[in-house]
Structure 1
Amino acid sequence: MMKALYVILAITLSFTALSAQPLQYHVVSANDWLYPDTQVPASPLHTIDLHSARGARTAFQVLLQGTKAGDPLQLKYEGKLAPELYQLVDVNVPENSGPPCSAIPPDQPKPEYSIRKAPYRVYEALRPIHGGDKARGETEAFYVSFRVPTDATPGKQNGQLRIQAGERTAEVKLSLTVHTATVPEQGHLRVTNWFSLPAMARLHKLEPWSEGHWEMIRRYARMMRRGRQTDFIPVRPEVKKTDQGGWQFDFSRTERMIKMFLDEGFTHIELPHIAHHDRRKEAISPFVVDIAGTPAAGTSREAYAFLSEYLKGWAQMLRRNGWYDKATQHVVDEPNPKNFADYRIMAGTVRKFLPGIPLIDALGNATLDGAVDIWVPLSESYEKDVAGFEAHRRRGDIIWFYTCCDPSGYSLNRFIDTELLRTRLLHWANWKYRLDGYLHWGLNQIIEEQHPFENTCPPHGPYKDFHLPPGDSHIVYPGEEGPWSSVRFEAMSAGIEDYELLRLVGRRDEKLADEICTQLVRTFTNYDSTVAGFDAAHRRLLEEAGKEK
């Protein structure tokens, strides 16, 4: 009997000790990737020092181990400034980024410029924390973001984040230093991420153009503005042929969308491309204009007749609403130099019927003289012909840059299998080269056969004959009630804020701003993407940006 009592007592004590074990946890920089298989180190970090300008964001991540699936989660912050709290959601990276505009099959060796061999999973999407949330398993991860108001008092604030999972707790102590510098709500860098309206409806199970769809479009617009996007492409007007052989254009949806986006803080309207490449096997022309669903050669008389009415319709609508000076016009995306003659003809049509509206397009060659006003070369193309593009700037044109599935390798881009800081440093490159804007095609370009969380390397091309690099198709994710941000989207927004700080320093001392920038970014392929290197340069930037001019 006594022996049995000892056994019961031993089991009880053992269970009590196990229940009382604290959570294992580790604080991680928001500038570094965190993985579901990351282990809490032997000497974990339980504190963090944050630094931010006013009007900017700063963040950190927390890795927890020792939770159990179904444990109730509670996160409570004690401090002056309430943070936004997110549960990190992992996504699958099935392939590594490869040569330009492709991915490398997983049976191939890891490329030296990638930070991890695919396939693997990484914490990427940010799901807002709700009351009643439960732990998903033995490992949990959170993203904590502070938005510092523009009128915040400079100085140091202390705070504590308490995370409870079931009966176990973790406590993160932090200090937040608010610097004097202020990032303006309306910045100076022009930014556009092209988005898919059909994907917004499909992935959130909404009827296209229903009131629910319109509300979802607004939520995406707010997410884009959170990321400091300034420019957007509105939906095209509905087109009907008249009995007299002309065309009628219904701009009702277009106007509603433009009003919505301008109300949310966007500043510029990108009128949709008037033509696109004819990549069909039975192609009739390098560029075609869709006329009520039927392609016509871009330089044909049929296309001209249609465009003359279509562009006049845009002009009338823009002038009626007082938006004419907010507009830019796309002609054809990424025209090939061998087709520049056709592009010039179509550009002339635009200039005739939309006089004064700047023409903007992504293109990689600087010889399209006089046909473009806002040049958007690939970062790689710009560096190959700096002199050619800068000659256009001296003539009064504007220069942006873009990235997409290219360039790859060591180039700055937004791929998931490279250092997270590469995404943020893109906009240090904006300052480095004085490039006035940035364009990317992939906010939420998620195709029907693609699972947004499980396939970040979808098939692409007119015949779906290659896979995109991981993360190129989308940088936000379809969440339960709207779009979810991602650690890359937050990094991009932070990089745009950094650009504004560099600009502030540059107003006082341009040489100093360049010196700080060069600490991190020398070229698009020569940069420091280490967290330690970034923190040192960013701290210096914050201090210098707060000094009086």
Structure 2
Amino acid sequence: MKDEHKFETRLLSSLSKVFPDENLADSPLASGSILRNETFSFQMAFRSEKLLKQVKVHTTVDSSLKVEVRSVGVVPSELPVYPDHDEHVIRSTPGLYPDPLYPITEEGLTAFPGQWRSVWITIDSEGQPGQYPIGIRLESETGLVLGEEQLELEVMSQSLPDQTLIHTEWFHVDCLASHYKEEIFSERHWELIRSYVQTAVNNGMNMLLTPLFTPPLDTQVGGERPTVQLVDVEVIAPDTYAFGFDKLSRWVDMCNEEGVAYFEFSHLFTQWGAQHAPKIVALANGEMTPIFGWETEASSDEYRSFLQQFLPALREWIEFKGIKDRSYFHISDEPSLDQLESYRKASEMVGSLLNDFPITDALSNYDFYVNGLVKTPIAATDHLDKFLEHEVSPLWAYYCCAQYKEVANRFFSMPSARNRILGIQLYKYQITGFLHWGYNFWYSQYARKEIDPYRTTDAEAAFPSGDAFIVYPGEHGPIESIRLKVMQEALQDLRALQLLESLIGRERVISGLEEGLDEPITFKCYPREADWLLAKRAWINQTIHSYSS
């Protein structure tokens, strides 16, 4: 039996953003295709003319497909984007933006009168190739059918190749302890760390920021973040130290169990120029006490002596754990050109101690690379041109709040296509790795205080909403976001393109991607439409199928 009051539904792709106060503009979605080991997401939008509570969601799907249905929540944004933004945003006004993906409880959904909302459907397939109808039905609490839709999903016989892109989103373990009110590295904290690592790995993050010492990132000068130091340090004589790696071993073992492929050891010097040592605490005279920090000049004899003892001990431990080929180091994050000399001194301090490890830092000026100060540059996406022009390899890319003109990004205010296009760009330019600083930064800017990420999405008017975190804290673990799932799709696009390249060659892949475009795809120039992306991914799948038959 069907309810007689007006209730509208529409299937939409994962690239649609459904706002409560805006009519739907995107075309209905009728079908899709995936490779066998791929995740496919789509939405069912709905609008009721009256308030309805306890709306139930029912799915009809073949048992070989794993389906998850979540409710797309809305969260406030007071700073959606900077005022001088480009035209490629959905809206720039403060308000409620769709982002968190909430599990649907026994109480079901609420349909607010006159508001469009949506549910997010995720399909994972390891089943047999074929056509699968996916049915979605919404019912009232009395069992009346409010609306129903069906999507035809083709599961192809081919599988995505393993991910080769190295991908890190900086993981802030102190934010977990702060939000959940748990003692750092207590058993409950370790459980939370594991659950957030699982979500990261499941969404294509295969490198994990590993806090040897408390990472000197987004910290107010003179201030400090909670101590999250995995390496135990003991002062056994003046300027003489002993090191313990038990917690670091536990971390690495956990990462191995959860599928982390690479370890990104935290920065050995402070952010923005390598002028100081990070906060390091040690057991001295029977008490835990800070031995280095803001008061320590980076090039001081004391810190140099410490590194000359610590890094060889760490190298020996890395060799023992068998992770040398999976280990990366940082010096200082985002140095500017006027900090080149302080960065040079820091680079030279550790260069001979880490000469056979990759050292990689986020920076935008080519001079750091050409002067031999960083082996593997991580260039901002709006400053990649010079690195690409000189065929730098390996080359990584990153974006953050500063990359809000022309290039890809994932602010609340931006269309999801601007998030997903990154996969095609990384493929075309053969980028080795991608870094973003905000997996779960739930503090205000400079880590001055804790924030509630469901209420404050801009780090207290510091970064546009969507920059500082891509997961939310749930009661027992992470709540994913639509931006996270779309980023996962971008990485799947990259892997699908690599599979296609193995079948038809790189030149033909790029020619097919750019067919019909007025200009070649670059990091600043690319098709903006969601329909183009969806059609191009369909072409990729169809071509893979044709050349695999």
TM beyond 0.5: yes
Establish whether residue 180 from structure 1 lines up as the match of residue 169 from structure 2. Answer: no
State whether residues 432 and 517 of structure 1, in contact with CA within 8 Å, keep that contact through their aligned partners in structure 2: no
Runs of 4+ that moved beyond 4 A: none
Answer with 505-514 or 343-352: which moved more. Answer: 343-352
The CA distance in 1 between the partners of 2:257 and 2:322, in whole Å, is: 14
Matching residue of 1:349: 349
The alignment partner of 2:252 has SS state of helix
Matching residue of 1:414: 410
**Equivalent AA in structure 1 for residue 89 of structure 2:** S
Matching residue of 2:484: 489
Establish whether residue 372 from structure 1 lines up as the match of residue 374 from structure 2. Answer: yes
Compute the TM-score of the two structures, normalised by the length of structure 1. Answer: 0.85
The alignment partner of 1:345 has SS state of helix
Establish whether residue 268 from structure 1 lines up as the match of residue 251 from structure 2. Answer: no
State whether residues 96 and 114 of structure 1, in contact with CA within 8 Å, keep that contact through their aligned partners in structure 2: no
**Equivalent AA in structure 1 for residue 506 of structure 2:** E
Unaligned runs of 5+ in 2: 213-230, 281-290, 444-448
The CA distance in 1 between the partners of 2:525 and 2:272, in whole Å, is: 37
The CA distance in 2 between the partners of 1:72 and 1:251, in whole Å, is: 52
Could you report, residue by residue, the CA deviation over 1:380-399 in whole angstroms, capped at 9, with x for unpaired residues?
Answer: 111255324x1x32xxxx10
State whether residues 378 and 401 of structure 1, in contact with CA within 8 Å, keep that contact through their aligned partners in structure 2: yes
Larger Rg: 1
- Report percent identity of matched pairs: 23
Answer with 30-39 or 485-494: which moved more. Answer: 30-39
Answer with 467-476 or 66-75: which moved more. Answer: 66-75
**Equivalent AA in structure 2 for residue 59 of structure 1:** S
Q: 1:429 aligns with which of 425, 430, 439?
A: 425
The alignment partner of 2:427 has SS state of helix
Shift in Å, 1:365: 1.7
Shift in Å, 1:297: 1.6
The CA distance in 1 between the partners of 2:15 and 2:340, in whole Å, is: 42
Could you report, residue by residue, the CA deviation over 1:291-339 in whole angstroms, capped at 9, with x for unpaired residues?
Answer: 5343322122222101112212321221221112210111111122333
Matching of residues 499-510 of structure 1 within 5 Å: 499-507=494-502, 508-510=504-506
The CA distance in 1 between the partners of 2:278 and 2:181, in whole Å, is: 31
Establish whether residue 73 from structure 1 lines up as the match of residue 49 from structure 2. Answer: no
Shift in Å, 1:72: 4.9
Establish whether residue 404 from structure 1 lines up as the match of residue 404 from structure 2. Answer: no
Matching residue of 1:215: 191
The CA distance in 2 between the partners of 1:517 and 1:414, in whole Å, is: 22
Shift in Å, 1:353: 2.4
Shift in Å, 1:289: 4.5
State whether residues 135 and 165 of structure 1, in contact with CA within 8 Å, keep that contact through their aligned partners in structure 2: no
The CA distance in 2 between the partners of 1:416 and 1:75, in whole Å, is: 29
Could you report, residue by residue, the CA deviation over 1:141-165 in whole angstroms, capped at 9, with x for unpaired residues?
Answer: 210010122xx33221123122223
The CA distance in 1 between the partners of 2:512 and 2:455, in whole Å, is: 39
Answer with 289-298 or 259-268: which moved more. Answer: 289-298
Q: 1:196 aligns with which of 147, 172, 181?
A: 172
Shift in Å, 1:75: 2.5
Could you report, residue by residue, the CA deviation over 1:479-498 in whole angstroms, capped at 9, with x for unpaired residues?
Answer: 12211111110010110010
The alignment partner of 2:352 has SS state of helix
Could you report, residue by residue, the CA deviation over 1:341-390 in whole angstroms, capped at 9, with x for unpaired residues?
Answer: 332332233232234111111111222333322211101111255324x1
Establish whether residue 333 from structure 1 lines up as the match of residue 333 from structure 2. Answer: yes
Q: 1:158 aligns with which of 129, 133, 143?
A: 133
State whether residues 337 and 365 of structure 2, in contact with CA within 8 Å, keep that contact through their aligned partners in structure 1: yes
Q: CA RMSD in A?
A: 2.6
The CA distance in 1 between the partners of 2:511 and 2:437, in whole Å, is: 31
In the superposition, relative to structure 1, how do residues 493 and 40 fare at CA in structure 2: closer, same or farther (>3 Å)? Answer: closer
Establish whether residue 59 from structure 1 lines up as the match of residue 41 from structure 2. Answer: yes
The CA distance in 2 between the partners of 1:496 and 1:454, in whole Å, is: 29
Matching residue of 2:539: 540
The alignment partner of 1:535 has SS state of helix
Matching residue of 1:120: 95
The CA distance in 2 between the partners of 1:290 and 1:481, in whole Å, is: 30
Establish whether residue 530 from structure 1 lines up as the match of residue 529 from structure 2. Answer: yes
In the superposition, relative to structure 1, how do residues 110 and 472 fare at CA in structure 2: closer, same or farther (>3 Å)? Answer: closer
The alignment partner of 2:158 has SS state of strand
**Equivalent AA in structure 2 for residue 63 of structure 1:** A
Matching residue of 1:101: none
In the superposition, relative to structure 1, how do residues 518 and 470 fare at CA in structure 2: closer, same or farther (>3 Å)? Answer: farther
Establish whether residue 242 from structure 1 lines up as the match of residue 244 from structure 2. Answer: no
Establish whether residue 286 from structure 1 lines up as the match of residue 313 from structure 2. Answer: no
The CA distance in 2 between the partners of 1:132 and 1:207, in whole Å, is: 33
Could you report, residue by residue, the CA deviation over 1:97-133 in whole angstroms, capped at 9, with x for unpaired residues?
Answer: 22xxxxx4xxxx9863322131121221111223343
The alignment partner of 1:274 has SS state of coil
Q: 1:446 aligns with which of 426, 442, 446?
A: 442
The CA distance in 2 between the partners of 1:449 and 1:346, in whole Å, is: 31
Shift in Å, 1:541: 0.9
The alignment partner of 1:58 has SS state of strand
State whether residues 239 and 302 of structure 2, in contact with CA within 8 Å, keep that contact through their aligned partners in structure 1: no
**Equivalent AA in structure 2 for residue 453 of structure 1:** Y
The CA distance in 2 between the partners of 1:517 and 1:432, in whole Å, is: 9
Could you report, residue by residue, the CA deviation over 1:430-487 in whole angstroms, capped at 9, with x for unpaired residues?
Answer: 012111110000011110343312222224xxxxxx6212210011111122111111
The CA distance in 1 between the partners of 2:494 and 2:179, in whole Å, is: 33
The CA distance in 2 between the partners of 1:154 and 1:241, in whole Å, is: 62
The CA distance in 1 between the partners of 2:111 and 2:132, in whole Å, is: 32
In the superposition, relative to structure 1, how do residues 290 and 455 fare at CA in structure 2: closer, same or farther (>3 Å)? Answer: closer
**Equivalent AA in structure 2 for residue 367 of structure 1:** D
**Equivalent AA in structure 2 for residue 457 of structure 1:** D
The CA distance in 1 between the partners of 2:181 and 2:198, in whole Å, is: 20
**Equivalent AA in structure 2 for residue 195 of structure 1:** F
Number of corresponding residues: 502
In the superposition, relative to structure 1, how do residues 339 and 159 fare at CA in structure 2: closer, same or farther (>3 Å)? Answer: closer
**Equivalent AA in structure 2 for residue 329 of structure 1:** F
**Equivalent AA in structure 2 for residue 37 of structure 1:** D
Matching residue of 1:469: 464
In the superposition, relative to structure 1, how do residues 289 and 449 fare at CA in structure 2: closer, same or farther (>3 Å)? Answer: closer
The alignment partner of 1:181 has SS state of coil
State whether residues 278 and 292 of structure 2, in contact with CA within 8 Å, keep that contact through their aligned partners in structure 1: no
**Equivalent AA in structure 2 for residue 29 of structure 1:** S
State whether residues 55 and 111 of structure 2, in contact with CA within 8 Å, keep that contact through their aligned partners in structure 1: no
Q: 1:142 aligns with which of 119, 125, 128?
A: 119
Shift in Å, 1:86: 0.7
Could you report, residue by residue, the CA deviation over 1:387-445 in whole angstroms, capped at 9, with x for unpaired residues?
Answer: 24x1x32xxxx101000112112221111111111111112110121111100000111
In the superposition, relative to structure 1, how do residues 303 and 57 fare at CA in structure 2: closer, same or farther (>3 Å)? Answer: same
State whether residues 376 and 400 of structure 1, in contact with CA within 8 Å, keep that contact through their aligned partners in structure 2: yes
The CA distance in 2 between the partners of 1:438 and 1:144, in whole Å, is: 27
Could you report, residue by residue, the CA deviation over 1:488-522 in whole angstroms, capped at 9, with x for unpaired residues?
Answer: 10010110010011112222321121123335871
Compute the TM-score of the two structures, normalised by the length of structure 2. Answer: 0.85
Shift in Å, 1:58: 1.0
Matching residue of 2:218: none
The CA distance in 1 between the partners of 2:181 and 2:111, in whole Å, is: 25
The CA distance in 2 between the partners of 1:22 and 1:44, in whole Å, is: 20
**Equivalent AA in structure 1 for residue 121 of structure 2:** V
Could you report, residue by residue, the CA deviation over 1:162-213 in whole angstroms, capped at 9, with x for unpaired residues?
Answer: 22231332211111011233113x3111100002101112223333222111
State whether residues 110 and 118 of structure 1, in contact with CA within 8 Å, keep that contact through their aligned partners in structure 2: no
Matching residue of 1:49: 31
Shift in Å, 1:59: 1.3
Answer with 345-354 or 49-58: which moved more. Answer: 345-354
Unaligned runs of 5+ in 1: 1-15, 99-103, 280-284, 460-465
The alignment partner of 2:210 has SS state of coil
The alignment partner of 1:471 has SS state of coil
